[in-house]
Structure 1
Amino acid sequence: MTQSLVPISLLVLSNVFMTFAWYGHLKSFKESALWVAILVSWGIAFFEYVLQVPANRIGYNHFTLPQLKIMQEVITMVVFAGFSVLYMKQSLKLDFLWAGLCLIGAVYFIFRSP
């Protein structure tokens, strides 16, 4: 694995934890007390930060700060789309595709100049 793929991989894993921390309770803990959902979400978010902080530290050696941010947003949308379909059983609408194309445009513009 090349050094530039390490932060990307860590960001993907971080986003999986983040997405479950933010939205997983809507399915898994909807009958639980709010404080239970909050504590479980905080516990999951801990692992997000364990991965996200090193991802950004390592990534900053290979990418600019704006490049890291745009990568994070694209990864977030891809992970969220998978989470929505696979875990929450939601269908993706055409507007999600248009939003994704806008993000691809953002990637192009942020990476096109050195």
Structure 2
Amino acid sequence: MAALSSPFVLPVLLLVASNVFMTLAWYGHLKFKAVPLVLVVLASWGIAFVEYCLAVPANRIGHQVYSAAELKTMQEVITLVVFAGFSVFVLKEQLTWNHGIGFALIAAGAFFVFQGKTA
């Protein structure tokens, strides 16, 4: 259990959870197109508040061992993974080969951000 609270692991877990909430806030309303936009915006703000309650500590804790650029890169890659799953399983949208190539190029960029990291 101590490994989960490590400043190397806990930020990743918090960023995954925060991205689930953010994806829900930004894209979940697409399943409810009949709901008035003002209600969707208010609900999204409430969901986004939970996201902030997870993302801010993730970055505060993670900055003990990761640079800000590394934390942002992690967040972007996690966002893509969460979004891809949400898009396929919740929105029932198909990801195509060009989505895969675009995501792979972003992952390649993330690889380079973490090169040269010293312990």
TM-score (norm: length of structure 1): 0.95
* Identical columns (%): 50
Q: CA deviation at 1:3?
A: 2.7
TM-score (norm: length of structure 2): 0.91
Distance in structure 2 (CA, Å) of the matches to 1:92 and 1:4: 31
Distance in structure 2 (CA, Å) of the matches to 1:34 and 1:108: 39
Q: How many residues align?
A: 113
Q: Which residue of 1 aligns with 2:112?
A: 109
Distance in structure 2 (CA, Å) of the matches to 1:9 and 1:96: 25
Q: Which residue of 2 aligns with 1:68?
A: 71
Q: CA deviation at 1:25?
A: 0.5
RMSD: 0.9
Q: Which residue of 1 aligns with 2:93?
A: 90
2:7 counterpart SS class: coil
Q: Structure 1: which 5+ residue stretches go unaligned? A: none
Q: Which whole-Å deviations, capped at 9, do the CAs of 1:25-69 have from their partners, x for residues lacking one?
A: 111x31011111011111110100010000010111110111111
Alignment of 1:1-114 (within 5 A): 1=4, 2-27=6-31, 29-114=32-117
Distance in structure 2 (CA, Å) of the matches to 1:16 and 1:37: 17
Distance in structure 2 (CA, Å) of the matches to 1:6 and 1:92: 30
Q: Structure 2: which 5+ residue stretches go unaligned? A: none
